Amino acid sequence: MFGIRPKGGVTSEPAPRFPRLLRHVWDAFCEIAGGIQGNGWSHPVITWQSLEAWSAATGQRLEPHEARVVIRLGQRRAAILNAAQAKKNAGKN
């Protein structure tokens, strides 16, 4: 489920199809995430300012509810990457 596979690598269910109506939101998230810059202390998040700069640079505009999804995805991405980094660093001690 959700791309998580058992240790054997065999899934009992096929992966769900990507919702076609959300493709443009996912594409926007991927573009913006590729351009955000961190401060060296943690993984960067997508801010409203970075979303606004992306919109101005590309001429693309998201609906408010779509923009909130992109912001939340950016926060979730950073939280996952930070947790993975903390786990990796904990193993070094």
Q: What is d(CA 28, CA 57) in angstroms, rounded to the nearest whole number?
A: 12
The H-or-E segment that residue 25 falls in is helix 23-35
- CA–CA distance, 17 with 84 (Å, rounded to integer): 27
pTM to 2 decimal places: 0.75
- Tell me the C-alpha distance between 44 and 85, whole Å: 13
Q: What is the pLDDT of residue 6?
A: 58
CA distance 87 to 76: 17
Tokens standing for residue 60: 């693309």
Summarised one tens digit per residue, pLDDT across range 16-46 is: 888 899 999 999 999 999 888 877 777 888 9
